[in-house]
Structure 1
């Protein structure tokens, strides 16, 4: 990614552009680079910020989605951000939901894509076998509709993570926390406008998850992207950005 990562007060983040603020939250196996096309497109009109979530740096006992939400709150407060739009993919969507529920006064609107919080089929139902590069490659490809989206760079990154014992323990703890923290009874309390942008071929948070989110969220719209898996902003960035811009424009009316 060509954007500079800033380090300040224990936070690492990307901060590009000026205007209303978009805060982008990455997933469990995600990285800042997952949002490259969104940053490139929207930094012309918005201030786009991506905090690096401390997935591997939390004490094991507090590793969980609620702790990540508290981290986001500290970051938002530290940066003095107001009236933000939160965008979350996968685990990042789950964190965005918890944050929005806890701090509705800070959030103008919410965008979810392949979000956990109701159900997810992590890694296709099994955790990666360490050392097996082919197995990891297959599981990263499972994330997308088009296996070619799983570049060697992406597979290498995940392979490195799952062969780091400290990181694996935290990934498992975070994944278990996400499964335990089912939000079906709470998300009707989210009153801000929510845009759901979903891959019709998502195998990790399948289409029925998007439909359930749409039914439970009082002010939501659901947009489908065909031939697209769990990370639409990576796999079909142009179409993702069209839906996102349309939604953001509506919030200005």
Structure 2
């Protein structure tokens, strides 16, 4: 990735551009590079920050979505950020929801894409064939509408993660925490404007999940991206950025 990763006070993050702050939260298998096209497009007019979430660094007992939301809060406080827009994909969306619910005074708006929090069809309860490269390749391709989006680099990255025993234990703990922490009863309390940008062919958080989010959130808009799976900002960056720009122009 062409952006430099800063390290400060135990935080690792990317910080590009100046202006109103966009905080981008990656998913469970997501790398910082998933957001490359968003950073490149918006760093001209905004300050775009991606904190590296400590998915594998939390003690096992506290490995979960709430701990990640607390981590985001500590990061925001440390960097003295205000009036932020939080963007989250997959697990990152779930973390963004919890953070917004707990700290509404810090959040100007929220953007969710393929977010967990209501329902997700995850990798499953285990990795029974994690040593099989083809199996992992198939699972990564499942994330996208067009399997070609699952580049060798991406598959290699996931393959490496799921063949690290400690990381697998943490991933499963995090995934179970996400399933346990269903937010359907709390989502109506979020009052900030929310932009939902969803792949119409998302098989992990299917379209009906987006519709339910839209119904439960009091101030939300729902934007569809055709021929697109679970990560629109990667698979259809031009359409994703167009929806995001329209929303941000309205908010700021």
Q: TM-score range by the shorter chain?
A: over 0.9
Mark the runs of 5 or more structure 2 residues left unpaired by the alignment: none
Matches within 5 A, 1:227-246: 227-246=227-246
Distance in 1 separating the partners of 2:75 and 2:125 = 33
| Distance in 1 between residues matched to 2:210 and 2:204, nearest whole Å | 11
User: 1:131-210 alignment to 2 at 5 Å?
Assistant: 131-210=131-210
User: Deviations for 1:157-199, whole angstroms, at most 9, x for unmatched residues?
Assistant: 0000000000000000000000000000000000000000000
Is the partner of 1:7 in helix, strand or coil? Answer: strand
- Aligned CA RMSD, in angstroms, stands at 0.6
Give 1:14's aligned residue. 14
Query: What's the offset of the Cα at 1:8?
Result: 0.2
| C-alpha contact (below 8 Å) 2:6/2:12 kept by paired residues | yes
| CA displacement at 1:131 relative to structure 2 | 0.7
Runs of at least 4 residues off by over 6 Å? none
Aligned residue in 2 for 1:67: 67
Question: Following the alignment from structure 1 to structure 2, what is the Cα–Cα distance between the partners of residues 126 and 116?
Answer: 16
Instruction: For residues 95-139 of structure 1, give each alpha carbon's deviation from its aligned partner in whole angstroms, at most 9, with x where no partner exists.
Output: 00000000000000000000000000002x464322100000000
Q: 1:53: which partner in 2? A: 53
Query: 1:94: which partner in 2?
Result: 94
Structure 2 length as normaliser, TM-score?
0.99
1: CA distance, partners of 2:126 / 2:57: 21
SS in 2 for 1:202: coil
**CA–CA distance in 1 between the matches of 2:174 and 2:113?**
19
| Distance in 1 separating the partners of 2:94 and 2:217 | 14
Corresponding position: 1:108 with 2:108:
yes
Secondary structure, in 3 states, of the residue corresponding to 1:157?
A: helix
Q: Equivalent residue for 2:224?
A: 224
Give the distance between the partners of 1:183 and 1:199, measured in 2 at CA: 21
State the SS of the aligned residue for 1:195.
strand
Distance 1:182 1:126 in 2: 17
TM-score between both structures, scaled by the size of structure 1: 0.98
CA–CA distance in structure 2, aligned partners of residues 229 and 11 of structure 1: 30
